[in-house]
Amino acid sequence: MKTGFYPGCSMKGSAREYSESLLAVAAALGRELPEIPDWNCCGATAAHNLNQDLSLALPARILAAAEKDGMDEVLVPCAACYSRLSVTRYELLQDEDLRQKISGLIETNYRGSAKVLNIIEWLTSIPDLETKIKAPFARRVACYYGCLLVRPAGILKFDRPEEPQSMDQLLKKIGATPLDWAFKTECCGAGFSVSRTDLVAKLSGLILDDAVARGAEAVIVACPMCHLNLDLRRPQIEKRAGKKINIPVIYITQALGLALGIAPKKLGLQRHTVAVKFSQSTEGAANVAQSSGSKTLPGEK
């Protein structure tokens, strides 16, 4: 089983630490992740807003290159790239005429054999992950899935779209306490990060607000866009909220890397806008109201 790796544009740029931590983790687990040769941009939101053929041709070229290289599956850590590649594979396998047309455009017969995996699927498939943990990541965490990992549900068929649990299960495996919270799949503002930063400040602010209120020590993400809005835009969020919000946002691979005993610097933690610091106390979930009843949350009156 040959697993290829599609970094996508942000992994080489604004989400470098996601890539760094992923490769460090892969190395520590003895997994090879060869990049797809001559890969191109997946088209992201731009392509499917402008031209349908282009939005399918770009991912198809990537996957065709992976097939040609003998890859059975491709890991796509960026959730947006994952969405584009998955939807393209689905559409072209459904519609034979479309598949032939796009194959003509990319001048390669795209067969659709390579499966597309997101980071959680790939990490979940690693056997005996618990045995490799050196320093359990004993923190209370809020797992943030964002919008693209679990939707559209009919195409991705991954986890439960309204109340996903896969990332939570993974965090549990590495020793963390994933919290039950209400904003797992709520919108962060997404592509409005540049054009309407005020909306991002509001929406991402609501997400962080709930995580903090539940007693989370960190928000775990698996998407460069999520990270960007929750971390890089922190000054705007704080300005709108009128207070400091210190909760760090870390990639799932960084959390796993820490648990595997890899040095923080190798995981790129210093690249974040919000300093990744944890308080010493590890009071665990006992103090945090999880579900039913009218108990107050810590810090609330």
Residue among 59 and 146 whose Cβ is closer to another protein: 146
Choose, by CB under 8 A, the member of 53, 277, 297, 298 that binds another protein.
Answer: 297
Which residues between 6 and 25 bind another protein (CB under 8 A)?
Answer: none
* Contact between 216 and 140 (Cβ < 8 Å): yes
Residue among 53 and 163 whose Cβ is closer to another protein: 163
Give the residue from 11, 13, 5 showing the smallest Cα distance to 34: 5
- Quick one: residue 255, left, alpha or beta (phi over 0 = left, psi -120 to 50 = alpha)? alpha
Verify binding: residue 300, another protein, rule CB under 8 A.
yes
# residues near another protein by CB under 8 A: 18
Residue among 216 and 259 whose Cβ is closer to another protein: 216
Say how far residue 261 (Cα) sits from the centre of its chain.
21
Q: Residue 291 Cβ, how far from another protein at the closest point, in Å? A: 5
Q: Residue 97 Cβ, how far from another protein at the closest point, in Å? A: 14
Verify binding: residue 299, another protein, rule CB under 8 A.
no
Element (H, E) at 123: helix 119-124
DSSP notation for 155-170 = HH--S-SSS--HHHHH
Verify binding: residue 105, another protein, rule CB under 8 A.
no
Residue among 203 and 222 whose Cβ is closer to another protein: 203
Verify binding: residue 238, another protein, rule CB under 8 A.
no
Query: Do the strands 115-117 and 3-5 form a parallel or antiparallel pair, or are they unpaired?
Result: unpaired
Element (H, E) at 218: strand 218-221
Verify binding: residue 239, another protein, rule CB under 8 A.
no
Q: Residue 174 Cβ, how far from another protein at the closest point, in Å? A: 24
Choose, by CB under 8 A, the member of 53, 163, 198, 283 that binds another protein.
Answer: 163
Sign of CA dihedral 2, 73, 14, 144: negative
The residues, any chain, with a CB within 8 Å of residue 77's CB and separated by 6 or more, are 7, 8, 11, 18, 19, 22, 118, 119, 222, 253
The residues, any chain, with a CB within 8 Å of residue 197's CB and separated by 6 or more, are 233, 236
Choose, by CB under 8 A, the member of 153, 263, 277, 284 that binds another protein.
Answer: 153
Choose, by CB under 8 A, the member of 213, 232, 241, 245 that binds another protein.
Answer: 213
Region binding another protein by CB under 8 A among candidate stretches 5-13, 227-235, 262-270, 286-294: 286-294
Q: Which residue is it, tokens 């539940």?
A: 214
- Which residues contribute to the site for another protein (CB under 8 A)? 153, 160, 162-163, 180-182, 186, 210, 213, 291-297, 300
